[in-house]
Amino acid sequence: MAINRRNFLKAATGSALTAIVAEEAQAFSPRETKELPPKAVGMLYDSTLCIGCKACVAACKQANDQPLEILESQQGWNEGAWDSAIDISAKTLNVIKAYTNGEMTQKDREVDGYAFMKRHCLHCVDPSCVSVCPVSAMQKDPITGVVTHNPDACIGCRYCVVGCPFSVPQFDYETPFPQIHKCQFCSHLQAQGKLPACCDVCPTGASLFGDVRELKEEAKRRLGAEEGEVYEFPRGKLGGDRDSHTAQIPKYQKDFYGDTELGGTQVMYLSGVPFDKLGLPTNVPDKSYASISEGIQHTLYKGMIAPLTLLSGLLFMAYRNRKHHDDDEQSPKEDL
């Protein structure tokens, strides 16, 4: 009898395990990647228009009350006239970086050339940071799609820092009372009908604010134009009333970045050099990473049916076995 039961349990456990694994491997398909919000606002950064003046970096600091960052090597003489941040950090939400190669003789050329890159939050359509945050500190506005951070909710677990495919959220390790810092697309200025500071001050229209769908059309117009053609590049806001910047269409990469990458981003890029040279991850799927991990969670925890079924099974077994122990004086029922 005992042997039969043992064999039965063994077989049952074994087949159950196999079934679970097979089923889970099947069922762990990603959920749908989220759609672009109805009035999504974003930015088109055209690296070929950027002259590296860093007016956007200074304006960002001012608009967001962030301190200057002086490089360690400049501590002796740099008294603050030059904000020398080389990457985003807890003190810098937006930075201009440079790609350089060889002789660096020509702008926007991959070999022996150089190019500028603006780095800050891309305001993903389906952001990992929002998906992974345990306490809803990261929020994506359902209308505009801007990704904001609420320090009052944040517990500082830094899952957003490790989970962001663009390594955007920045944690402050140098203070006992730290918080996460990231570009929030100057939501406070947008609420007053103003432009994000970086787009507002950009002298060439390299950082262009606008409706994401319209910005995508603008990107396609530029990509569709002939190289060398004279083009009116809008400044500030797409469809705004500012003077445009007249220049020739450069040699672009054949697509713009942010249309489909990882489910799409609301900050998009045009460039003369390959996007990976600018530090953008290019070997990525069209679905968001959030959709993959949430797919697993949603499968396992849909309506809490699976955990509750398991729990009732466990309760039944534990209860029945408990009675069995009570009836049997020989068993060491005092245990536990």
From candidates 65, 174, 226, 329, binder to other proteins by CB under 8 A: 174
Q: According to CB under 8 A, which one of 33, 66, 170, 253 is a site residue for other proteins?
A: 170
Would you give the binding string for other proteins spanning residues 194-233, x where CB under 8 A is met?
A: ----------------------------------------
Site for other proteins in 284-313 (CB under 8 A): 284, 289-290, 292-298, 300-301, 307, 310-311
Closest distance of CB 335 from other proteins, Å: 4
CB of 10 to other proteins, least distance (A): 8
Task: Give the residue, chosen from 38, 134, 228, 239, that forms a contact with other proteins under the rule CB under 8 A.
Answer: 134
Cite the beta strand spans of the chain per DSSP E: 41-46, 95-100, 106-107, 113-119, 138-140, 147-149, 170-171, 180-181, 207-211, 230-233, 245-248, 267-270
- For residues 102 and 113, what is the distance between their CA atoms, to the nearest angstrom? 7
Q: What's at 336, amino acid-wise?
A: L
Site for other proteins in 177-196 (CB under 8 A): 177-180
Number of other CB atoms surrounding residue 216 within 10 Å:
19
- At 312, is the secondary structure helix, strand, or coil? helix
Minimum separation from the CB atom of position 289 to other proteins (A): 4
The interface region with other proteins, picked from 72-80, 109-117, 155-163, 251-259 by CB under 8 A, is: 155-163
Sole binder of other proteins in the list 53, 171, 189, 204 (CB under 8 A): 171
Which of 262, 270, 273, 278: binder of other proteins (CB under 8 A)? 262
Residue 11 binds other proteins, judged by CB under 8 A: no
Question: Of these, 15, 100, 105, 331, which contacts other proteins (CB under 8 A)?
Answer: 331
Selected range binding other proteins among 64-72, 149-157, 197-205, 238-246, rule: CB under 8 A: 149-157
Is the distance from CB of 197 to CB of 55 less than 8 angstroms? no
Whole-angstrom distance, CA of residue 332 vs CA of residue 336: 10
Sites for other proteins among residues 25-44 (CB under 8 A)? 25, 28
Please give the DSSP secondary-structure letter assigned to residue 316. Answer: H
- Whether the CA torsion 263, 293, 162, 61 is positive or negative: it is positive
Choice between 106 and 316, CB closer to other proteins = 316
151-157: long-range contacts, CB 8 A cutoff, minimum separation 24: 151/179, 151/180, 154/179, 154/180, 156/180
Q: Does 67 bind other proteins (CB under 8 A)?
A: no
- Name which of 189 and 300 has its Cβ closer to other proteins: 300
Contact of 312 with 289, CB cutoff 8 Å: no
Q: Does 329 bind other proteins (CB under 8 A)?
A: no
Decide whether 36 or 157 has the Cβ nearer to other proteins. 157
For residues 193, 217, 285, 119, the Cα torsion angle rounded to the nearest 10 degrees is -50
* Smaller CB separation from other proteins, 77 or 177: 177
* Shortest spacing between CB 166 and other proteins, in angstroms: 10
| Two tokens, residue 44 | 């088109």
| Backbone Cα Rg of the chain | 27
Site for other proteins contains 21 (CB under 8 A): yes
Shortest reach from residue 34's CB to other proteins, in Å: 11
> Could you give the 3-state DSSP secondary structure of residue 309?
helix
Q: How far is the CB of 69 from other proteins (least distance, A)?
A: 13
CA distance 249 to 68: 35
Is residue 189 within 8 Å of residue 162, measured between CB atoms? no
Per the structure block, which two tokens stand in for 154? 């944040």
Instruction: Determine if 85 is a binding residue for other proteins (CB under 8 A).
Output: no
Using rule CB under 8 A, residue 275 touches other proteins: no
